Amino acid sequence: MSTPVSARSRDEGLEVRSKDSPRDGRASRAEKIREQRRRELLDVALKVFAQRGYHQARIADIIDAAGVARGTFYLYFESKNAIFHALLDDLLARVRTSVVGVSMAGNAPPVNVQIRQSVERVLAAFVASPDLTRVVLREAVGLDAEVDKKLFDFYARLHRWLADALANGARLGLLRVSNGDLAAWAVLGTIKQMVQLLVDGPADSGRKPTITEAAEAILDYSLLGLAPR
Amino acid sequence: MSTPVSARSRDEGLEVRSKDSPRDGRASRAEKIREQRRRELLDVALKVFAQRGYHQARIADIIDAAGVARGTFYLYFESKNAIFHALLDDLLARVRTSVVGVSMAGNAPPVNVQIRQSVERVLAAFVASPDLTRVVLREAVGLDAEVDKKLFDFYARLHRWLADALANGARLGLLRVSNGDLAAWAVLGTIKQMVQLLVDGPADSGRKPTITEAAEAILDYSLLGLAPR
Amino acid sequence: MSTPVSARSRDEGLEVRSKDSPRDGRASRAEKIREQRRRELLDVALKVFAQRGYHQARIADIIDAAGVARGTFYLYFESKNAIFHALLDDLLARVRTSVVGVSMAGNAPPVNVQIRQSVERVLAAFVASPDLTRVVLREAVGLDAEVDKKLFDFYARLHRWLADALANGARLGLLRVSNGDLAAWAVLGTIKQMVQLLVDGPADSGRKPTITEAAEAILDYSLLGLAPR
Amino acid sequence: MSTPVSARSRDEGLEVRSKDSPRDGRASRAEKIREQRRRELLDVALKVFAQRGYHQARIADIIDAAGVARGTFYLYFESKNAIFHALLDDLLARVRTSVVGVSMAGNAPPVNVQIRQSVERVLAAFVASPDLTRVVLREAVGLDAEVDKKLFDFYARLHRWLADALANGARLGLLRVSNGDLAAWAVLGTIKQMVQLLVDGPADSGRKPTITEAAEAILDYSLLGLAPR
DNA sequence: AATGAATGAGTATTCATTCAT
DNA sequence: GATGAATGAATACTCATTCAT
Half-sphere exposure of C189 (CA within 13 A, CB side): 29
Protein A139 CA to nucleic acid F12 C1', in Å? Answer: 28
Could you say which residues 55-94 of protein chain C have a Cβ atom less than 7 A away from any atom in strand F? 68-72, 74-75
Listed ranges A6-20, A96-110, C177-191; the one with the highest mean pLDDT = C177-191
CA distance B60 to B38: 16
CB-based contact (8 Å) between C191 and chain D? yes
For C204, counting Cβ atoms within 10 Å of its Cβ (0-12 exposed, 13-18 middle, 19+ buried), the class is exposed
Better-scored residue on pLDDT, A33 or C69: C69
Which of D182, D190, D222 is the closest to C217 by Cβ? D182
Q: Which of the residue ranges A8-17, A50-59, B144-153, C165-174 would you say has the lowest mean pLDDT?
A: A8-17
CB-based contact (8 Å) between B178 and chain A? yes
CA distance D55 to D139: 9
Single pTM value for the model: 0.88
Residue D37: CB less than 7 A from any atom in strand E: yes
Residues 6+ apart with CB under 8 A from D165: D101, D102, D115
For residue D28, the model assigns a pLDDT of 75
Residue B100 pLDDT class (50, 70, 90 cuts): confident
D vs A contact (3+ beta-carbon pairs below 8 A)? no
Are the CB atoms for A151 and A140 separated by under 8 Å? yes
CA distance B47 to B55: 14
Would you call C186 and D183 a contact, using CB atoms and an 8 Å cutoff? no
CA distance A137 to A141: 7
Residue A1 pLDDT class (50, 70, 90 cuts): very low
Closest CA in chain C for residue D51:
C142
Mean pLDDT of chain B: 87
Per-residue pLDDT tens for D159-181?
999 999 999 889 988 898 778 89
Does the structure show a pLDDT above 50 at B14? no
For residue C180, the model assigns a pLDDT of 85
For residue C7, the model assigns a pLDDT of 60
For residue A17, the model assigns a pLDDT of 46
Half-sphere exposure of A73 (CA within 13 A, CB side): 24
Better-scored residue on pLDDT, C20 or A57: A57
Beta strands in D104-210 (DSSP E): none
CA distance C96 to C103: 17
Q: How many residues does chain D have?
A: 229
Domains in chain A, please, with CATH? 7-78 (1.10.10.60), 85-224 (1.10.357.10)
Task: Report chain D residues whose CB lies below 8 A from the CB of C145.
Answer: none
Protein A66 CA to nucleic acid E14 C1', in Å? Answer: 21
CB-based contact (8 Å) between C220 and chain D? yes
Residue D1: CB less than 7 A from any atom in strand E: yes
Which DSSP state fits A21? Answer: -
For residue D31, the model assigns a pLDDT of 83
Could you say which residues 67-86 of protein chain D have a Cβ atom less than 7 A away from any atom in strand E? 68-72, 74-75
For residue B7, the model assigns a pLDDT of 60
Task: Report chain D residues whose CB lies below 8 A from the CB of C152.
Answer: 203
List the chains bordering chain C where 3 or more Cβ pairs fall under 8 Å.
Answer: D
Interval C73-79 mean pLDDT: 98
* CA closest to F6 C1', residue: A72
- What is the helix, strand, coil percentage profile of chain B, to 5? 70, 0, 30
Mean pLDDT of chain A: 87
Residue B1 pLDDT class (50, 70, 90 cuts): very low
Would you call C203 and D152 a contact, using CB atoms and an 8 Å cutoff? yes
Residue A25 pLDDT class (50, 70, 90 cuts): low
Does the structure show a pLDDT above 80 at C13? no
Closest of B15, B76, B87 to residue B49, by C-alpha: B87
Protein A6 CA to nucleic acid E12 C1', in Å? Answer: 17
- Give the CA diameter of chain C: 73
A101 in helix, strand or coil? coil
Half-sphere exposure of A24 (CA within 13 A, CB side): 7
* Ranges of chain D with pLDDT below 70: 1-27, 205
Helix (H) or strand (E) holding D84: helix D80-98
Are the CB atoms for C144 and D55 separated by under 8 Å? no
Could you say which residues 59-88 of protein chain C have a Cβ atom less than 7 A away from any atom in strand E? 59-60, 70-71, 73-74, 79-81
CA distance A141 to A139: 6
Please name the amino acid found at residue C87: L
CA distance D46 to D40: 10
